Structure 1
């Protein structure tokens, strides 16, 4: 990477359909502030939400991510003195920034044990029931422990050279974690969130309250607009009055 002139990297999870790849605002802020690491977060609003949070790390003087499975229930539910917002609300959405120098430093063999501990995650894993003589494909409860390592565990190594960037959940976070037909974080909610966001872009650009006809949603090609910019000249009047609108020119 150094030979190719790469100075920094964005690392993100593949399960967030609203990820802004190479976000110029986020990366630009990190470059201007000259930080070695950074994380995007959204506000966590429900104590039961299965998402880690970014919190101050007193040992390093920087920040670290506390996984939801490792939080005490009382900490996960704690609120500000006025009872409104959660106290631990900086939800980690796995969108990170690293300078090349910071990765070269933390990726040394001697740092692996110190910076990348194993996390025990309880999982539902199919197993062979010897008594019944058959496979159990969907265990009713967690029956296995999976040991995991997380790239964000290196955050404390940045010390104070770390930045947090809070994004709007409706614009940058729609995870895919559950099977089709689930109540949340599933293919249906991901599609809905993309269409609602793109429809909002078009309506804002056109200063309109609807797309016309009985149509409710639109999808904008990523080749036409990155985050809703440049859509002011799009003419919606000549499109069919029904069905999903796909805008690519």
Structure 2
């Protein structure tokens, strides 16, 4: 009988210890999130629109700012940050392929579109013979810029070329002999003083003080080119990732978007939320 009581007592003790261990694991749930972003609108979006929401849920958020399109994914893949916010899903797909990574574009966010700017001209009609046009040299945004020139009727590209990665080498007709100069994306705003026109990504345009309503022409941005929150595949369903997603999809953040991101392209969940009101 004593042995039986001792055995039951031992089992009960193990159960209590196991339960305590479970509570301890829960209490140690990750409550800090480190997010990488390029300086400008997406970093500001996090600081002013998302962090206040996450802080209400007990999260502490740190933003690490980057000035290129390579290091944020490397840092994420190596575990130095928990998520990043700077790229579209088409760019990420190619980056994963080129660098043997498996990062996941979880959901889009309000996105400042790529646009054509100029300090010298006001209209597409001002594009003349031999005009110089700078544009981002990363494959995805170079293709977006060239596709806009195609839509303007200024160039033609090889019909067999993949439109998502088309480059200046695929141009088969350039009727105005435009001088097309791909350069580092971060340098495109600075090129305005030395060029006729420049295609500038939304984040770099706004970070440099340009306004969307000052653009000569704005891209009609498809969903694949919206900016996405990106995480490691193994973290996609973790509580911190779900908390971040909940903040972006909240009514509070939609209100922030409507007030502070006029001219941005809204992600599908915000469009749907507004449609249901």
Do they superpose with TM above 0.5?
no
Bigger Rg over Cα: 2
Q: TM-score range by the shorter chain?
A: under 0.3
Structure of greater relative contact order (alpha carbons < 8 Å, 6+ residues apart):
2
